[in-house]
A and B are shown apart, each in its own frame.
Chain A
């Protein structure tokens, strides 16, 4: 299998993978925000396609989802969003299975994946789809050259690890601690244990859940992570701009600055993956 654009983004050193909910708080402003993340050094960008029942999300991203849905975000609009974006880095769509399953006329996940691939989406993360239920989506993703990224949790048992990594492509998402998404000041030591367990596998391991500062990002990279995923800390900036009526420009600048801080934290600690292997 030829290496995907996503996997390639992890080649030259640990990757910075920011997340934003697409369309939060509006379609137009959100485009600016995502583009600011690329200027701030994003190597891959995760875009949330909002679902009404986000069971894996903490309050920060739940509120982002409420704002985006209120502005009229739908799967159809989401793909227009992706097509409107002027960014060069690979894009990952993070959403829940019902939206994938319902899309299009034909039954099953394929119409969604087809449309995603055509729009320029490089990968999918589906937090409510464990490996056990993933075969139809895996098949559609393989057929269309879209990566499917699975999450390794602190509770993932050793015997679940092999099938999980076998199904994963692009990278694996290492959930740094139990619970739902949300920025935290501490990042648990589950992380180093999880990273150790993943050493024998080929896929890059990107750590997420709770990371909010460049310093934390640096520590985790020093601990062996191939990438850092940051969501809620960035969504907090969008929320703050929305609540305090800041201009889109100002919020975009703040996002870019935060992305810079995280990128710097990562690059100061990290060495290219090729040199560590």
Chain B
């Protein structure tokens, strides 16, 4: 099995972890690729009964009218837990069980992967510890509560900016201690081989369903497929079965944050657009595109969406961008927030802030890019983001945003916009 995708991928990890990666590669081949002991059958069955699959492919009527094209939404927000993350988390926790591991750890950014892992671990009766950057525990509080309710330990990570990058580093450190008994459920198509392939294998169900559902409805393939990309698991899962269908255009939408400029001196990139602006480097076990300064120090990224706020990206996605198969683009905080409000108002779907980047992109895309039939994956629902959205919206002038003065209290005179 190849460990790389073109020039990207590989296994840049401490020696202590190499035997565990060998063991995992072996398990991936046996259980996932060869369905040994009926692993994949059990996985699919649990995805259905516990996870709520298949998810609908919905024609979005208002958006179709707005953009003059057929817009279909793949509703991963309806997966149990509220995001596509469960597809991978359930697969990996089940795999850990088949491998005889006794404990689960995971990192989380938006808290969606942590939540999905905590749910899967509770469902399959495994103890679970989630690492989450301090900044993220503060901005995604509802997910912290959900993880705790599912009996997972939540360990805040204080070093650095306290976001996803630090949480992954800390999870890798835990794994270096506990590798003999613990499986690290990585949350995206990132990290050392075989993680990018393993996570992609579990997320590929998204595009398998899209393809079948669209064929049944229209007898055709889509002209374009759009997905937001942080680490890239939603994007890879959404693209997987279309990669070999040349006529289908694939768009991976990253977080443009507040600007695509970088501050070299402070080592800060006010965005998370590693596919669009990053350069080749080695981060968290893989060679991929990363946001880094001229010396190779990893930059602090930024996005209003915690789940996209990461300085790296999956190596296979980086490769597909390099070969021209996938077109990357980025959407800034403002456009994403406008997308959030638009989908909420016009379709009755409150999307995750991550997904809102893809929604926002529809507004900026040309008719040629969209084609006659576009599929966009709603990777998650926005309940976790309500506080952030209210705060961020209040600071901006977003045309579609509703007034929140329902809360205003005449006796205290508050304007309620906070």
* A53-B283, A53-B298, A97-B282 given; A128·B176 CB < 8 A: no
B6 to chain A, nearest CB (A): 15
Stretch from A4-12, A35-43, A175-183, A231-239 contacting the other chain: A175-183
Closest A residue to B297 by beta carbon equals A52
Residues in A with CB closer than 8 Å to B18 are 130, 132, 153, 155-156, 160
Residue A85 at the B interface, CB < 8 A? no
A88 and B281 CA atoms in complex are apart in Å by: 35
Asked if B179 and A164 sit within 8 Å, CB to CB, the answer is no
* Contact among B14, B22, B169, B298 with A153 in the assembled complex (CB-CB below 8 Å): B14
Within 8 A of B (CB), among A138-189: 150-157, 160, 164, 175, 178-180
Residue A81 at the B interface, CB < 8 A? no
Asked if A175 and B16 sit within 8 Å, CB to CB, the answer is yes
* A132-B18, A178-B178 given; A58·B11 CB < 8 A: no
Residue B173 at the A interface, CB < 8 A? yes
Task: Categorize the interface residue count of chain A.
Answer: 35 or more
Closest A residue to B12 by beta carbon equals A128
Residue A99 at the B interface, CB < 8 A? yes
Residues in B with CB closer than 8 Å to A99 are 295-297
* A128-B12, A128-B282, A156-B19 given; A102·B296 CB < 8 A: yes
Residue B54 at the A interface, CB < 8 A? no
Asked if A154 and B16 sit within 8 Å, CB to CB, the answer is yes
Asked if A180 and B173 sit within 8 Å, CB to CB, the answer is yes
Q: Would you give the 0/1 interface string for A73-108, flagging 1 where the beta carbon is closer than 8 Å to chain B? A: 011100000000000000000001111011100000
Closest B residue to A63 by beta carbon equals B159
Asked if B179 and A155 sit within 8 Å, CB to CB, the answer is yes
Asked if A52 and B298 sit within 8 Å, CB to CB, the answer is yes
* Contact among A53, A74, A132, A150 with B169 in the assembled complex (CB-CB below 8 Å): A53
Asked if B13 and A128 sit within 8 Å, CB to CB, the answer is yes
Residues in A with CB closer than 8 Å to B13 are 55, 128, 130
Closest B residue to A96 by beta carbon equals B282
Residue B236 at the A interface, CB < 8 A? no
Task: Categorize the interface residue count of chain B.
Answer: 35 or more
A9 and B161 CA atoms in complex are apart in Å by: 41
Residues in B with CB closer than 8 Å to A160 are 15, 18-19
Residues in B with CB closer than 8 Å to A98 are 281-283, 290, 292, 296, 298
Closest A residue to B170 by beta carbon equals A55
* Contact among A56, A66, A155 with B180 in the assembled complex (CB-CB below 8 Å): A155
* Contact among B160, B179, B284, B295 with A55 in the assembled complex (CB-CB below 8 Å): B284
A178 to chain B, nearest CB (A): 5
A57 and B285 CA atoms in complex are apart in Å by: 15
Asked if B292 and A178 sit within 8 Å, CB to CB, the answer is no
Asked if A155 and B283 sit within 8 Å, CB to CB, the answer is no
Q: Would you give the 0/1 interface string for B17-41, flagging 1 where the beta carbon is closer than 8 Å to chain A? A: 1111010000000000000000000
Asked if A66 and B159 sit within 8 Å, CB to CB, the answer is yes
Residue B172 at the A interface, CB < 8 A? yes
Residues in B with CB closer than 8 Å to A127 are 14
Within 8 A of B (CB), among A31-64: 51-58, 62
Residues of chain B having any CB pair with chain A under 8 Å: 3, 10-20, 22, 159-160, 165, 169, 172-173, 176-180, 267, 281-285, 290, 292, 294-298
Residues of chain A having any CB pair with chain B under 8 Å: 51-58, 62, 66, 69, 74-76, 96-99, 101-103, 127-133, 150-157, 160, 164, 175, 178-180
Give 26 A-B contacts (CB < 8 Å), ordered by A residue. Answer: A52-B160, A53-B165, A55-B172, A55-B173, A97-B12, A97-B282, A98-B283, A99-B297, A101-B296, A102-B296, A127-B14, A128-B13, A128-B14, A128-B285, A131-B15, A133-B11, A153-B18, A155-B16, A156-B18, A157-B22, A175-B16, A178-B16, A178-B177, A178-B178, A179-B176, A180-B173
Contacts A52-B298, A76-B295, A151-B16 known; 11 new A-B pairs at CB < 8 A: A53-B165, A57-B173, A97-B282, A98-B283, A98-B290, A98-B296, A101-B282, A102-B292, A130-B13, A133-B12, A155-B180
